[in-house]
Amino acid sequence: MPFVGEILKHRSVSIVGLAKNAGKTECLNYILKRLPLDYFNVAVTSIGIDGETTDQVTGTAKPEITVREGMYFATSESHFRQKRPLAELYDVGEEETALGRVVTAKALQEGKVLLSGPSSAAALKRWMRSLKDFGIDLILVDGALSRLSTASPAVSEAMVLSTGAAYSANIRELVNKTAFVVELIRLPLYAGPEPDLRLSSFSSLDAGALKGNRIIEVEGALTDRLLQLVKNALGEGEIELVVGDFTKVFCSQELYRAFVRRGGRLSVRMKSELLAVCVNPVAPNGIVLDSDTLCRELSERIGLPVYDIVKNEYEV
């Protein structure tokens, strides 16, 4: 089924990129353009600043975010004053950001906007709850660079992932790195007994103190340091590590593979639903990957359709 149709089945969806210029904003605009607003109320916001015409880091041109008539959007007071489409102000939040309070408005005509919404995952969740009286059917969240926390199931029900040549200019490496992220998104839900031990990434335990514990819950981030500690404790039998969700995993692919080869398992308390993967085969430095090859190889690796939004303007 087309992934835009799948989005309509959820109350909240995050669009996240694995790197700047990975095509995330193009993907968001593609979705916004195709949502059925005649019977669907949609709200959109961003963590971080999005919608500017030029990337503030690379200096390259960026697609602006286009909201359609009837869409709700949240942005900072500063950027709300710069809006181009006519909009009706609905709410001014109490939380301060670097650009002022977060403003929620309804577009009265189609136009381009700068989005700079809640500045943290916690603030984003509070804003989402504040929409309960607006009759919103779907909330779309545009995540900022390396802010996969917006895709946490504690924040949004589902996600769309954007990747591309900006993440890696080698197709094989790009497929491998993206597939690893998808593998983490698909980590199984933990359904076992109460863990034997709970520890955090700041634990000062040595490997010997972990021996005899078969189920260990990690409170906070799973880092390379912590995973190495657990891996060193693996002897006879297996160890299962339990984390909150995939956004809490900050370990390298190489160490994770070594942990699994030693009999380790990783599971999550909450699971995200990945709806689609979109790619941008063009890097800011001018490198262009073969789109068909990239989409085919990545799709075969992850078992999901992969879309080049710019190249394929047909309905998907």
- pLDDT-derived band at 188, boundaries 50, 70, 90: very high
- 66 within domain boundaries: yes
Pair (153, 259) in one structural domain: no
- 151 within domain boundaries: yes
- 314 within domain boundaries: no
316 pLDDT more than 70? no
Tens of pLDDT along 49-86? 654 544 444 444 446 889 999 999 999 998 888 867 89
Tens of pLDDT along 217-239? 999 999 999 999 888 887 656 88
Pair (162, 245) in one structural domain: no
The DSSP secondary structure of 163-201, one letter per residue, reads EETTT-SSHHHHHHHHHHHHHHHTPPBP-SS--SEEEET
Pairwise CA distance, residues 231 & 239, whole Å: 9
Most confident range (mean pLDDT) of 43-47, 84-88, 92-96 is 43-47
Pair (87, 231) in one structural domain: no
- 315 within domain boundaries: no
- 295 within domain boundaries: yes
Pair (134, 279) in one structural domain: yes
Pair (169, 262) in one structural domain: no
The DSSP secondary structure of 97-134, one letter per residue, reads ETTEEEEEEEESS-EEE-EE--SSHHHHHHHHHHGGGT
pTM tops 0.75:
yes
Pair (234, 261) in one structural domain: yes
Pair (36, 135) in one structural domain: yes
Average pLDDT score over the chain? 87
Q: What is the pLDDT of residue 203?
A: 67
Pairwise CA distance, residues 199 & 197, whole Å: 7
- 313 within domain boundaries: no
Pairwise CA distance, residues 40 & 60, whole Å: 34
- 167 within domain boundaries: yes
CA distances 90 to 2, 131, 140, Å, are: 33, 10, 18
- How many structural domains is the chain composed of? 2
184 pLDDT more than 90? yes
Pair (238, 114) in one structural domain: no
Pair (39, 113) in one structural domain: yes
- 257 within domain boundaries: yes
Tens of pLDDT along 103-157? 999 999 999 998 888 888 888 999 999 998 889 999 999 975 556 777 888 889 9
Q: What is the pLDDT of residue 190?
A: 96
The percent of residues above 70 in pLDDT, for the chain, comes to 88
Q: What is the pLDDT of residue 53?
A: 46
17-33 average pLDDT score? 91
Pair (179, 294) in one structural domain: yes
DSSP reduced 3-state for 93: strand
- Give the domain range for residue 235: 197-268
Pair (223, 148) in one structural domain: no
Q: What is the pLDDT of residue 291?
A: 95
CATH code of the domain in which 101 resides = 3.40.50
Pair (263, 281) in one structural domain: no
Pairwise CA distance, residues 219 & 180, whole Å: 22
Place of tokens 């490496």: 173
201 pLDDT more than 60? yes
